[in-house]
């Protein structure tokens, strides 16, 4: 069994990105700019935003975090997004989710210029992805594709099952796998005979949001297993959607939690900010 080390790959890619950014600054006087907007005091969001800021600064980007109070109105947030849409110094705009209940999440995500939507959630970018002309791609699936490349996982003709159908992971993951010539099934919590279906997969991507949901009964001998889950057990320990100790002996490759998919998500955000700076300069 090979452990897919997302942390090591992320470290390598971020070092390469810092070198590319320094060259871009020297040759063109261009510095990628990423602004992250955080509304409210959600504890997990605070951690994510700090990590994004740290990565942006390490890459040599201009980085700004705008922290807004819980009482910020939807109109105020939309006005702020439009300000950054118009400011050419900023190539990526990211609004940290979740938002307070009084703000329409969809309206906010749609307000971000597609050219600056480094999360890849705008319907224009989703449409480009699903029509086979991807520009901005949701970062978690993009990071998983980089892991397949790094570990030389040949996807052509393989049977892939994606458990989870979110717009953030499941659906874009399925499209990227199809683009790489895999045969893809999207499954979810209401799929009948889910374990039996998953057991047919050469590639199993699990993003269902339930701790230790996938056991060895779900996994074919020699399958590549990607665990997107980030859950807390009863002791507060971070665990994945896959019961690692049970599944690892069956799989040929598997991602750990933590240290697997998570670090790659932030890395791909930075990569897409860099690419956006190149495209829109």
| Active-site residue, 96 included | yes
| Active-site residue, 128 included | no
Q: Which residue's structure tokens are 């069994």?
A: 1
Residue-range definition of the domain harbouring residue 78: 29-113
Is the predicted pLDDT of residue 281 greater than 80, yes or no?
no
| Active-site residue, 52 included | yes
Q: Determine if residue 166 is labeled as part of a ligand binding site.
A: yes
Which of 96, 158, 220, 243 is the catalytic position?
Answer: 96
Tens digit of each residue's pLDDT (9 = 90 or more) over 140-190:
999 999 999 999 999 999 999 999 999 999 999 999 999 999 999 999 999
Q: Determine if residue 165 is labeled as part of a ligand binding site.
A: yes
Shared domain for 145 and 101, answered yes or no, is: no
Shared domain for 144 and 253, answered yes or no, is: yes
For position 157, which CATH number holds?
3.40.50.720
Which of 119, 202, 227, 241 is the catalytic position?
Answer: 119
DSSP string, 87-122: -TT--EEEEPSPPPTTS-HHHHHHHS-GGG-TT--S
Is the predicted pLDDT of residue 193 greater than 90, yes or no?
yes
Within a 10 A sphere around the Cβ of 98, how many other Cβ atoms? 12
Within-domain flag for 88? yes
Within-domain flag for 272? no
pLDDT band at 44 (very low <50, low <70, confident <90, very high): confident
Tens digit of each residue's pLDDT (9 = 90 or more) over 50-71:
999 999 999 999 999 999 999 9
3-state secondary structure of 82: helix
Within-domain flag for 125? no
Which of 52, 116, 171, 220 is the catalytic position?
Answer: 52
For strands 183-187 and 33-39, give the pairing: unpaired
| Residue-level pLDDT at 222 | 98
Q: How many domains does the chain have?
A: 2
Within-domain flag for 81? yes
3-state secondary structure of 128: helix
Within-domain flag for 20? no
For position 107, which CATH number holds?
3.40.50.10860
| Model pTM above 0.75 | yes
Q: Determine if residue 120 is labeled as part of a ligand binding site.
A: no
Tens digit of each residue's pLDDT (9 = 90 or more) over 253-277:
999 999 999 999 999 999 999 999 9
| Residue-level pLDDT at 56 | 97
HSE (side-chain half, CA atoms, 13 Å) at 219: 27
Shared domain for 258 and 165, answered yes or no, is: yes
Tens digit of each residue's pLDDT (9 = 90 or more) over 88-129:
999 999 999 999 999 999 999 999 999 999 999 999 999 999
């Amino acid at each position: 069994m090979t452990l897919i080390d997302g942390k090591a790959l992320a470290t390598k890619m971020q070092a390469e990105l810092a070198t590319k950014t320094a060259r871009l600054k020297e040759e063109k006087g261009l510095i990628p700019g990423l602004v992250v907007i955080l509304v409210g005091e959600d504890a997990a969001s605070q951690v994510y935003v700090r990590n994004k800021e740290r990565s942006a600064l390490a890459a040599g980007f201009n980085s700004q975090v705008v922290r807004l109070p819980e009482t910020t109105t939807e109109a105020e947030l939309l006005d702020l997004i439009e300000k950054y849409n118009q400011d050419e110094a900023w190539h990526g705009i990211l609004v940290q989710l979740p938002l307070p209940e009084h703000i329409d999440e969809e309206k906010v995500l749609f307000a971000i210029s597609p050219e600056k939507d480094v999360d890849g959630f705008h319907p224009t970018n989703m449409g480009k992805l699903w029509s086979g002309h991807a520009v901005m791609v949701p970062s978690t699936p993009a990071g998983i594709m980089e892991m397949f490349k790094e570990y030389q996982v040949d996807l052509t003709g393989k049977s892939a099952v994606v458990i989870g159908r979110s717009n953030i992971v499941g659906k874009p993951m399925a499209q990227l796998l199809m683009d790489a010539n895999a045969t893809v099934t999207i499954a979810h919590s209401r799929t009948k005979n889910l374990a039996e279906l998953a057991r047919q997969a050469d590639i199993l991507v699990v993003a269902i949001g339930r701790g230790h949901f996938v056991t060895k009964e779900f996994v074919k001998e020699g399958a590549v297993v990607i665990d997107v889950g980030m859950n807390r057990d009863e002791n507060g320990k971070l665990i994945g959607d896959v019961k690692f100790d049970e599944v690892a002996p069956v799989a040929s490759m598997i991602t750990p939690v933590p240290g697997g998919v998570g670090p790659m998500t932030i890395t791909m955000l930075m990569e897409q900010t860099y690419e956006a700076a190149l495209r829109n300069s």
